[in-house]
Structure formats: structure tokens, C-alpha cells
Structure 1
Amino acid sequence: MSDSELPSSKIPAPGTDTSLREDALQPTTIGSYTVAIARALDASGVDSKRIFTAMGIPLDVSTDPMTRLPAATMTKLYRACVDVTNNPYFGLTVAKHIHLTHLHALGYSLAASGTLMDFCRRLERYFRLVSQVAKANLEQTGEQVLMRFDHLLELSSETEDAFFGFLIRTMRLLYKQEFKPLRVELCRPVPHEGPGPYEALFRAPVLFGQASSLLVFDKADMLQALSGSCPELAQVNDNIIISYLARLDKSDVITGVTQKIIEFLPDGDCSREKVASALCMSPTKLQLKLSQRGTHFQQLLDDTRKELACSYLSQASRPVTEITFLLGFSDTSNFTRAFKRWTGLSPTDFRQQI
């Protein structure tokens, strides 16, 4: 059915609550996500411009991750899309049109991951850049890897469908087309028309009406090296993501401190006093805020250095001497002692294992 044949009653009336203006009290999703929805509408024979105009959503949504869409607006948009397309699987259609570039720096970082395990770790760590409506958690049990998303509010079924469909399609693109999860669990109820399209996409058992969204993988698959791995590119984009997260949630002191630690480490002067000053607070206030989150400055400094060290050592072109100074150590012996304390290995042994 073409858009011109659609009854006008299926087009929602314009409302003042569908603006892209970010409401600080409302969870949001990255705005570029709507690009995929528009393409899915057009591919379904529906004029996306008409739908977006009726919803009060700008047609030229920026790819800037700071352009956000309120979660309530996303739910209303999806409801309208399902109505006008008469397609209960519209979310799976959207999944075909989401590209890694829609996730900005996170997309490039995911694409440059060394393994699918690295891919999922980044997703767990930086998921808030994509959406604030759920929390990602990565677990390992025996020979299985569990990627779980705990919903922080009620989501539209299409949001869940689109994101899971996108993840599996992307993992196949980066690894191999035969890749499939062991099991998929969805919060949404099974559509009246049946689970067929889900089983065809995931090629695995799909459970509906579950407490959280879950993907279960074979650990052996998750540890295979990816041909597109580029640690240098991943590291650069990881740092960009952290800067965006600090802007997105200025009240998150841990993200703010981490960003400043990354910024100051190469200068060799990354004291609690300097970081506190950069965040416009006293060292005492900074420590109080960190203690309220169950951590302290030295712990964040150690954790950030360890994560950066492992990333830098995976970049074969970086000599240990350069890494030493990038991490703010005065000499390689100090770095080596710290790295052994973190991992039980010397930097050279760690690099050889990789």
C-alpha cells in the first residue's frame, strides 16, 4: 500500500511533546537512529517525511551524538510506523537500515574491535551513548557469553527488535555470515502472527516475554580474531566516546574524572588536585563525590591506566617507551611494576600473548 492510500486517521496529530529538545529528566536515545526508521518507512512504500512532520520530528537529524530523541517520542514514532505500514515486524525492518556510522564514534570503535568479546565489552561500557533506556551487562558462564540489557523503563517492542537485529547483523558482518547466537530472549510478547521472522533472522531459539533482553553466545566464537581489527582506531574513538559521555551526563563524576585523567596523563601531571580543579571543585569535594559512588581517585587512575595500557600494548606499532610516557610514568621500570601488579604479566609478556 502506498502512503497516498493510507487513511488519515493513521497519521498521528502533531504534538508539542515530540520535540528533539533534550529533557534532562527523561532518558534519551541517539537522534541519528531516526535515519534508519525513515529509510525503513520509505522502503515500505510510506512517505517518511509525512510521518516525521506529523510527529514534529525534524527531517534533517544530525549525526552528532549529542542530538537526542526522548524515549517517549521514540515510542510514539514506532507506534505510528507500525500503524501506517501494518507491519508487526517493523522493528526488524529497521534493523536492516541501521549502520555502525549511526552510532558515531562508538560505531567506529565497535568496527575496529579485535574480537566479538571486545565488541561486547565496548557495548557494555559505552551503551549510554546510544541509549539511556537500558543498562548493558556482559557475563561469562562456563563456555557461554551472555549479553544482557536490563530495561530502565518500558520500551516499545520495536526498539528491542531493531537493536537486537542490528547487533546480530553487524556481528555477522565483522565475523562471518554463518554466525548465530545460542539463544535470544526478548521482553516483548510474541506477535500474533508468530515468531517466524525472529527465528529466521537470529537462526536460534527465541523466547518472548522475558524479564530482560538477552543474547547468549558460544564463547569460542566470541574469542576469534576479527579481520577488521584496528586497536589504534578503536582507542582513538574510545577516547572520543568518553568525552561525549562526560558532556551527555555532566552529573556523572566518574565519567568526568576518567575523561580528565585521559587528557592529563601524557603531560605527566595527573594529580587529584589538577583533575578537581578542571572539574571546578575542591579535591575534598571530588573525593566525597567519588566515595558516594564507591570508589576513589587512585582507583580510577589505576583502572584507566590499566585499560589504556592493555589497549596500547595491542597496538604493535607503539614501543613500550612511548606507552610509558603516554600513561604518565617517569620511566619504564615504574610502568612495568605497575603493569605486573595489574595483570601479573610484564608488558612484553602481555604483548607476546596477544
Structure 2
Amino acid sequence: MSGSKMDTPGTEVSLREEALQPTTIGSYTVAIARALDASGVDSKRIFTAVGIPLDLSTDPMTRLPAATMTRLYRACVDVTNNPYFGLTVAKHIHLTHLHALGYSLAASGTLMDFCRRLERYFRLVSQVARISVSQVDDQVLVRFDHVIELSSETEDAFFGFLIRTMRLIYKQEFSPLRVDMRRPMPHEGGEPYEALFRAPVRFKQEHGLLVFAKTDLTHVLSGSCPELAQVNDNIIISYLSRLDKSDVITGVTQKIIEFLPDGDCTRDKVASALHMSPTKLQLKLSQRGTNFQQLLDDTRKELACSYLSQASRPVTEITFLLGFSDTSNFTRAFKRWTGLSPTDFRAQP
């Protein structure tokens, strides 16, 4: 309506700014809708009030700005009068809501592989935070750095989902050693967090952090399927190249994977496929602190380790999938990358 808040110049600017914000995969809202319905609230009414379509596509390219998610969560907490609504949402997030990343996570060989995939590919699901994985002695630290200020419910839901999923694919008694959260403790107390995580929880910390025992994260998972994980990793990279059109590293990596089996994966061919000159490609990569040969080696190494974990693939087949002319060249390269021959790497427990 004329004269309404939606028609003011300031609001138009804020809407444009919102459209440029980091985004989250739209299928995540399915879990929020189910949490509302389980709480006795008509999710359709809330979604309509917030301005979110009721039939969002499951395509990972269907995205919602961070501010939209914050508005939705604010409405959910208000209507349910539940300060722990994010923890409720965690019960309803399914791996399939994460599209190809969900299937890749489920097929991971270990929880360490699971965490590394989150580190590499999380931005397919959401661009609101960056994940980094590190090891300190016998502990593994999974850190979450927020790109923008997030609603407390977003952090609650994702941390809760991760721990529930890890228990599902590993064992129900699994727990982190410690949980650090950016959010403040709710006025009602932190007991629901300690009950869920079964670990000490610290609030108002500088970073979100999950601390695990390394022995838990290196245990081989019963649902491990390297072939399925690899297929979905490649799908993720394809989507990321569309989502991150300005990300030259993602684009180059996708083309390397595409061209390697042909044995003709050169900088010039990749540059041409990305519609730029080799010189421009080299410049863009150098601005990101890398070069074509480094990306080629890194991609080959990652694919090689994945293929070798697939017992049904002979080394000869892997050699040609990675674009090497013969197995001796592949073996030399693999020893340079890992210090092991392909046969010795495959024989590891």
C-alpha cells in the first residue's frame, strides 16, 4: 500500500542489501516447518506471515538470505514461546535436506572424513559461517567462524543436528568433549544443551567450537561407501561452481575433474572452458594464493585417495581416471604426495 513501510526508500535499500547477504539452502525450512507443526503451530500461517514460499524447491540453488532465516526464527520463538526452539528444529533436520552433501556425509569412511567434508563443502548448505578442522594432540577441533551475525536458533539447530547425525552413523553413546557456542545462555538455563550434547557447554564464546576425541573420529563407520561419497562430492563441486561463479578455484577444480579422464587436462584447456585467457586464469589463481599446477596436484591427490579406498577399482583404472599415461607415473606422483605407494596406501588398516 502507498505510504506503507514496504514502500519507503529505506526499506527498498534494506531489501536490496538482504538480497546480497549470505544465503542458506531453502530445503532447510522443511525442518523448521516440521518443528512448528510438532509444536502445535500451523507452519503455513507462519511462513506466509514471514513471506517465505510454502513450496520451496529442494534444488540447492534455491536459497534464502540470512536475514529471512532470522525473521523466521524470531517468529517461531515468539509463537511457540520456546527459547530452545532451535534445538527442536535439530530433531527434524534430515541429511537429505543438505542435498548431495548429506549423502556424501552419510557415506563418509570416518567421522574425520565427515568433518573434512563439512570443512570443504559447507557453503553449499549455508554461506553464513566457515568451518575449519584442526588437530591438537589427541583432540580434533571443529570451529565455526560466523561470516555475519546469526540468530541463536541457527547455531542451536546446526550443532544439535551435527551431534545427532554423528550418533546416527557412528554410535548413540557418542558425545563431544566440549561445546563452545557464540550465543548467550538462555535465561531459562543451559540444561537442555548439556542434556543433548552430554558434554560441558560454554556460552558467549568467541567462536563456535566442537571438541572431539581423535579416537572417535578415526573409527571406521559401518555405512562407509567411498564410491557413493565420491559421486556426491563431484555433484557438490558442480553446484558450487554455479553458486560461486566468482570463485575461480571451484571452477578450475570442477573442470580438472571433468577433463582428467581424457588425459588432456591443461591450463589452456581449462582457461578456455572458463572463457578466459591462460594469463587471466593464472592471475586470478595467484590472487588466491595458488596456481594451476598446485590445484591439479591437490585434486589428483584427493581423487586418488578416494579411488584407492574403493576396493573394486584396480590401480590401472585409477591411473587413467587421473589422467596419467601409465601406472609408474601415477605411482611416482602418489609417493610424492603421500610418502606411500598406491598398494601400500590401500593396504593400510
Partner letter of residue 215 of structure 2? A
Contact 1:14–1:54 (CA under 8 A) maintained in structure 2: no
CA contact (8 A) 1:14 1:55 kept: no
Matches within 5 A, 1:88-167: 88-167=83-162
Shift of 1:61: 1.2
Hey, what does 1:327 align to over in structure 2?
322
| Runs of 4+ deviating beyond 2 Å | 13-17, 20-25
Could you tell me which amino acid in structure 1 is paired with residue 153 of structure 2? E
Q: Does 1:174 find its partner at 2:176?
A: no
Alignment of 1:122-271 (within 5 A): 122-271=117-266
Question: How far off its partner does 1:56 sit?
Answer: 1.0
**Aligned-residue RMSD, C-alpha:** 1.6
Task: State the Cα distance separating 1:235 from its structure 2 match.
Answer: 0.2
Q: In the alignment, is the contact (CA less than 8 A) between 1:37 and 1:94 conserved in 2?
A: yes
Deviation at 1:176, TM superposition (A): 0.2
The equivalent residue for 2:62 is 67
Shift of 1:23: 6.4
> Partner of 1:287 in structure 2?
282
TM-score by length of structure 1 reads 0.94
Report the secondary structure of 1:215's partner residue: strand
Matches of 1:339 and 1:295 in 2, distance apart?
Answer: 20
For 1:156, the aligned partner's letter is: S
Residue deviations 1:238-271 (CA, integer Å, cap 9, x gap): 0000011100010000000000000000011100
Q: For the residues of structure 2 that align with 1:23 and 1:295, how far apart are their CA atoms?
A: 32
Task: Give CA-to-partner distance per residue, 1:57-99, whole Å, 9 cap, x none.
Answer: 0111111110001000000000000000000000000000000
Question: The residue matched to 1:179 in structure 2 has which SS?
Answer: coil
Q: Which amino acid aligns with 2:163?
A: I
TM-score, with structure 2 as normaliser: 0.95
Letter in 2 for 1:200: A
Letter in 1 for 2:310: Q
Kept in 1: contact 2:18–2:67 (CA 8 A)? no
Deviation by residue 1:169-206 (Cα, 9 ceiling, x = unmatched) = 00000000000000000000000000010000000000
Give the Å deviation of 1:21.
11
The 1-side partners of 2:109 and 2:274 are apart by 33
Equivalent residue letter for 2:115: C
Q: Which amino acid aligns with 2:234?
A: N
Q: Deviations over 1:210-246 (max 9, x none)?
A: 0111000000000001000000000000000001110
5+ residue gaps in structure 1? 1-12
1:25 is displaced (CA, Å) by: 2.4
Letter in 2 for 1:259: Q
Is 1:306 matched up with 2:301? yes
Question: Does the 8 Å CA contact 1:114/1:230 hold for their aligned counterparts?
Answer: yes
Larger deviation, residues 55-64 vs 83-92: 55-64
CA contact (8 A) 1:28 1:70 kept: yes
Correspondence for 1:347: 342
Distance 1:135 1:329 in 2: 34
**Structure 2: where are the runs of 5+ without partners?**
none
Aligned mates of 1:313, 1:141 — CA distance in 2:
28
Contact 2:141 2:211 in 1 (8 A): yes
CA contact (8 A) 2:19 2:65 kept: no
On the 8 A contact 1:22/1:68 being kept in 2, the answer is: no
